[in-house]
Amino acid sequence: MKLQRPEEECGIFGIFNHPEASNLTYLGLYALQHRGQESCGIVSSDGSSLHAHKSMGLVADVFGNQEIFKSLPGKSAIGHVRYSTTGSSVIKNVQPIMVDYSRGSIAVAHNGNIVNAQIIKDELEAYGSIFQTTMDTEIIVHLLATSKANSLLDRISDSLNRIKGAYCLLFLTETRMVAVRDPNGFRPLCLGKLGSSYVVASESCALDLIDAEFIREIEPGEAIIITNEGMTSYFPLQKANPTPCIFEFVYFARPDSYIFGKNVYQVRKEMGRQLAREHQVDADIVIPIPDSGVPSALGYAEESGIPFELGLIRNHYVGRTFIEPQQAIRHFGVKIKLNPVREVLKDKRVVVIDDSIVRGTTSRKIVKMIRNAGAKEVHVRISSPPTSYPCYYGIDTPNRKELISSSHTIDEIRKYITADTLGYLSEDGLISSVGTENTSYCRACFTGSYPVKFPKLGIAPQLDLFEKELPEYE
């Protein structure tokens, strides 16, 4: 069952030179499960060859049998959890991608989205390349294989300087692991250490689970090569002004993670405080839409002085699909995941805090559910600006015509979701909550201003990898 909101992207994890590499990678992926619940995989290296296990499903299901780890020997491994942003949801698209080519074997795990993917794919196919997946990640593998450079770093540099978009990448060969973050730094990527072993992860929460020490974030445009001799840092990519994704703070990252120099929980709490300053209302209680709305609701309650309550309880054990009973149950899709606490809501003026409104259909059902539980008034507060534009940098958002704020005023949205009042956090309020020392965050989902330009339509008439319309071409 899906609540109507932007879907997660992907998460990557890797560890080099540890006797339990595959087991620790499994745990790292477990900590990153929120970034993708569609499929997962691990590739390990025993020093002479690569081994893989991957499948559709959640990490605990795919790697639930301890016997699987016997097929993943070696002291180095990389892993991936996926929610598709390009390519369909099928087994052939499960990452990491592993291939054998003239220089040996290599595996790649990717978080992000390549905006000029179709142009490069058309060019490679014209020269005889055959693609086995529908993912943009496979393009990177083909570029590596066709590069004339001698060293692995130079081949990676040649390949990545041809692509545009968002990417955090982990490469694994028989003898080394390479981590790369795109020059814009759209997605988070951090470096840690466990004893003498280096660890790379999309978020620091994955380091915490395995007791690894957080060293630092990998810089935009940085490539790190890890071998038995140690770690070396390079900056082989074309420079750009970093534009980290601000929506990582709003929704995607786990609240206990440290990304872009900030703790996510503290940022979300400040977003709630700022929301209370901008949109005050007389009310009896503040409740969050769990789980992502909880820190902002706490901040709103603290700033406003209105008591915080858990008026909605989330069922954390709901899978991705369910069978709906033949007899119609009102708001069944939402109720299977959220249930109101009537004793908390009855006869109360309620402030409901959520992180975003996408299509509005889920918000409408939640407001009606709260009213049916006895609330006198329902005031909806959103801890981000209106989401009016789709993302092309690794987040699976609907196309623009499905985003309610792209075609409706705030008051029209309020009427549609049947709230008494509706208030969004302003863009300036979001920036101040995150930190005014860096105002270059990517805010394309709010503004429509995309920091990485798109291919001209005349060059690539078919951009089917995106599965959604592109904005104005530049």
Q: Which residues are annotated as a binding site for [4Fe-4S] cluster?
A: 245, 391, 442, 445
List 10, 40, 168, 190, catalytic entry: 10
- Give dist(CA 64, CA 52) in Å, integer: 15
Written as one letter, the residue type at 93 is N
- Are residues 109 and 202 in contact, defined by beta-carbon separation less than 8 angstroms? no
What are the CA-CA distances from residue 83 to residues 57, 194, 245, 433 (Å)?
A: 11, 28, 17, 28
Residue 110 pairs with which residues in a beta bridge? 169
| Rounded Cα distance, 132 and 412, in Å | 46
To the nearest 10°, the Cα dihedral for 383, 441, 445, 292? -30
Any catalytic annotation for residue 10?
Answer: yes
- Residues 111-149 as b or e (16 or more Cβ within 10 Å = b): bbbbbbbbbbbeebeeeebeeebbbbbbbbbbbbbebee
- Torsions phi, psi of 291, nearest 5? -100, -25
For 105, counting Cβ atoms within 10 Å of its Cβ (0-12 exposed, 13-18 middle, 19+ buried), the class is middle
Cite the annotated binding site for Mg(2+) by residue number: 292, 354-355
Q: Which residues are annotated as a binding site?
A: 245, 292, 354-355, 391, 442, 445
Distance from C-alpha of 289 to C-alpha of 353, rounded to nearest angstrom: 6
| Helix axis angle, 294-304 to 264-278, nearest 10° | 50
Q: What is the DSSP letter of 252?
A: I
Q: Helices (DSSP H) in 48-136: which residue ranges?
A: 59-62, 117-126
Residue 8: both structure tokens together: 């997660």
Distance CA 333, CA 323 (A): 10
Q: Does residue 467 sit in helix, strand or coil? A: coil
- Looking at residue 286, the DSSP 8-state letter turns out to be E
| Distances in whole angstroms, Cα of residue 409 to Cα of each of 268, 380, 427 | 25, 15, 16
Q: Residue 59's closest CA among 254, 252, 206, 195?
A: 206
Residues with a catalytic annotation lie at 10
